[in-house]
Every structure is written in C-alpha cells, then in structure tokens.
Amino acid sequence: MATHAEGEHFAGSNKLFIWVWIWLLVLTGVEVFLGYVHLDIRLMLTILIGLSVIKAALIVAYFMHLRFERLSLVLTLVPMLVVCICLLLVFFPDSFRNRTQRYTFESDKPMVTTTDEEEEE
C-alpha cells in the first residue's frame, strides 16, 4: 500500500486506516470461509495461524502505530515476544506422547453434566 502519509506527529491518514480495516475484514472473511468448507484440521490450523499472524501484524503496525515508531522500540518488543512464544511450543511433543500414556477413567466415559432428575436415579 502506497497510500500512507508519514508525518512526525501522528502518522497515518484516515484513508490508510480504513484500508487496513478493509484488509482485516477480507482476511477474516477468508478464515470464516475456511470454516465453511471442510479441510483437514492440520492444514486448516496452519492456514488460520498464518492468516492470524498477518492480521496481528497489520493491527500492530498500523493501528498500534508501531510501524511509525523508532526501530529500537520495535526491536525491544517484538523479537523477545516471538522467542518466548516459540519456547512455549516445546510442550507439544509431550502432548502427543501423553495420548498413549494418559490416565484412563474407570468408566472410560467423559464426565457428563447431569440434571437434577438424573442424579436422583
């Protein structure tokens, strides 16, 4: 987008913000459409996370104005956050391992919300 106007005081024109909003709506529309068609859940997850990261980047860059801040601020905030989130992913191998080793309930049935009448039986 070449429509942005960079100023010292408060950069970004209203036109630019409306364009960002429209892009956010379009990307959300694509996500909802993916919910309508039936995709494999892994493919779906990958696409959804990818689109959400793009949307988050648009919000942070334009609405939260980070694109117009000094690079030092961006470098202080963003890489640290990305590294910490990536570190959280270390749990996932364990979650797949868990599937075979997990504790099984005696009844092997999940807990069900019971209504009052059923409890009396």
Partner 1 sequence: MSTEAASADRITATEWSGGALPYRVGHRKLGMWLFIVSDALTFSALLVGYSYVRASSEQWPTPFPFYPSIVFSSVMTLCLLSSSLTMVMGVSASARRDYGAVRKWIGLTILFGAAFIVLHLIEWKHLIDDGLRPFSLPAEWVERWPQGSPLFGASFFAITGLHMFHVFTGLIYLAVVAARVRKMKHEDVEISGLYWHFVDLVWMFVFPMIYLLSVDFTPPVH
Interacting residue ranges for partner 1, rule: CB under 8 A:
9-10, 12, 14, 17-18, 21, 24-25, 28, 31-32, 34-36, 38, 41, 44-45, 48-49, 51-52, 55-56, 59-60, 62-65, 69-70, 72-73, 76-77, 80-81, 84-85, 88-89, 91-92, 94-96, 98-99, 102, 109-115
HEC string for 12-46: CCHHHHHHHHHHHHHHHHHHHHHHHCCCCHHHHHH
Residue 53 host element (H or E): helix 41-58
Which residue number, 2 or 115, has a Cβ lying nearer to partner 1? 115
Q: CA-CA distances (angstroms) from residue 73 to 18, 54, 83, 88, 91?
A: 25, 20, 16, 24, 30
CB of 118 to partner 1, least distance (A): 8
Smallest gap from Cβ 56 to partner 1, in A, equals 5
